[in-house]
Amino acid sequence: MATVIASVLGAQPQQLEGVETVRDVKQRLQLTNYTANVNGTAAKDDTRLSNDDFVALAPAVKGGNANS
Amino acid sequence: MPTVNTIQKLWEDMPQKRLEKNQGALDYICALASQANVNISRWNIKTTFGKDDEGNLMTDPRDLNKAFYAKLLEVKPRPARSADVKSDRALLAALRRHAKNMMATEIRDAKADYDRQLRTSQDRYRQYVMALTNATQANLKLERLQSDTELSKRAETIADSIADVLEGGFWTEPVVHNGALWLQTAKPITLTYKKASANIDVSVNLGRFAAKLTMSDRPSVLVYPFAKNKATTSSRFYHPHVNTGGDICWGNVREKALNHLTKWNFGKVLGLLQGLLSSYSDGNPYRPLQDFTTAGAFGAVPRDWRYPPKPAPMEDDE
């Protein structure tokens, strides 16, 4: 279990205690459809977390071209 | 104060390797600030993220994260921008104008939609009322048709029309036999035809005839000669406009006669039949009148096709 800093895009970062994976962070914040990166690197849901990791969460957005 | 924009001056004389490490740390700090949407331009980078007095920064991301978050907790949150916006009257007025313009389009669309829906519902209501009215009328008609009163009325109407015809004196002795109404001509029918250019001048007493009106859902009418009739042709025709099966060549009144028959208007049918039997049209007869002879050369009317019909005696259906 780790204590991490979670930042949801556009909101004040907060500290989360007792999380093990990125999935835990998403569930805790109820943001299951968001993408995550840990310490600046894209991370999957089962990425394990360590103390003081910075988990940034952003809505999953897929860009498209002008015709899509 | 070494800020994010000025701290690089401290690194000017650093070896390349250390410089790159510090620059990487600074990039990471900037990325954190961006992700957290925090303005760090006034932060003292050296005191917040510094590792030593020489201006070197921490390199472990976790140390940087921890320092970043600790600093964040120190910084007084900026007052909500929304409060400024809401208290700025000019801005608020401008926003209201903008919102009004935006809403004008929506209001116009909503009004058009309302009008369209209203028209549709009014049309449907009119159709509904019309259909309901029609259904009510159909039901009333159905009830009327199913009533005994209507049945009696219809029967009386038919009887009246036949009575009117009988009053004319051409038709007589109506009887019902095996579901058919039979009437006889009161007198023998004599047809004449003169055509000087062809040297034709004939007058033939064809005798009496009977009309059989079949009273079914598809009414029909046939004409039968009396057994006593003498006038006939070699092919056993007994009237120029009636074939050997009793079918009538209605000529120019065909549509009218069939229409009356379909509607059970027997009085009208008999009226038309009277005119047809009593007159000769040289246009298109089954057989020309001049072919008929009363000399008895072709024998009497066969028993299987004459009036009264064989074999059952005439009697009422009742």
Q: What is the ipTM of this complex?
A: 0.86
Q: Which residues of B194-213 are buried (b: 16+ CB within 10 A; e: fewer)?
A: eeeeeeeeeebebbbbbbbb
Instruction: Tell me whether B28 touches chain A (CB under 8 Å).
Output: yes
Please answer whether residues B268 and B277 qualify as being in contact, where contact means their C-beta atoms are separated by less than 8 angstroms.
no
- Which chain A residue is nearest to residue B59, measuring alpha carbons? A39
3-state secondary structure of A10: coil
In this prediction, residue A6 has a pLDDT band, given cuts at 50, 70 and 90, of very high
Q: What are phi and psi of B276, to 5 degrees?
A: -70, -45
- Which chain B residue is nearest to residue A52, measuring alpha carbons? B62
Contact at CB, B72 and A50, closer than 8 angstroms: no
Contact at CB, B62 and A50, closer than 8 angstroms: yes
Tally of CB atoms within 10 A around B305: 17
Which amino acid does the sequence have at B93? A
The shortest CB-CB distance from A39 to any of B65, B69, B77 is to: B65
Contact at CB, A40 and B66, closer than 8 angstroms: no
In this prediction, residue A68 has a pLDDT band, given cuts at 50, 70 and 90, of very low
* Average pLDDT, integer, range A26-50: 91
Instruction: Tell me whether B70 touches chain A (CB under 8 Å).
Output: no
Quickly list H helices, chain B.
16-36, 45-49, 61-74, 81-87, 89-146, 148-167, 254-262, 266-278
Chain A residues whose C-beta sits inside 8 Å of any chain B C-beta: 5, 7, 9-13, 15, 39-40, 50-54, 56, 58
The predicted structure's pLDDT at residue B79: 55
What is the dihedral angle through the alpha carbons of B206, B209, B213, B219, rounded to the nearest 10 degrees? -10
Instruction: Report in angstroms the alpha-carbon separations of B115 from B80, B105, B119, B123, B125.
Output: 44, 15, 6, 12, 15
Tokens (6 digits) for A21: 């994976």
Contact at CB, B36 and A52, closer than 8 angstroms: no
Contact at CB, B65 and A54, closer than 8 angstroms: yes
The predicted structure's pLDDT at residue B86: 65
Instruction: Tell me whether B68 touches chain A (CB under 8 Å).
Output: yes
| Helix %, strand %, coil % of chain A (to 5) | 10, 45, 45
Per-residue model confidence as pLDDT tens for chain B (318 residues): 889 888 888 888 889 999 999 999 999 999 888 888 888 988 999 999 998 888 899 999 999 999 999 998 887 665 555 556 667 788 788 888 888 888 998 999 999 999 999 999 999 999 999 999 999 999 988 887 787 787 888 888 888 888 888 888 999 988 887 778 889 999 999 999 998 898 989 999 999 999 998 887 788 899 999 888 888 888 889 999 999 888 999 988 889 999 988 888 888 899 999 989 988 988 889 999 999 888 777 777 766 666 665 544 444 433
Closest C-alpha to B3, from B63, B52, B47: B47
Contact at CB, B61 and A54, closer than 8 angstroms: yes
Under DSSP, the state recorded for B292 is -
Contact at CB, B72 and A13, closer than 8 angstroms: yes
3-state secondary structure of B85: helix
State the pTM of this model. 0.46
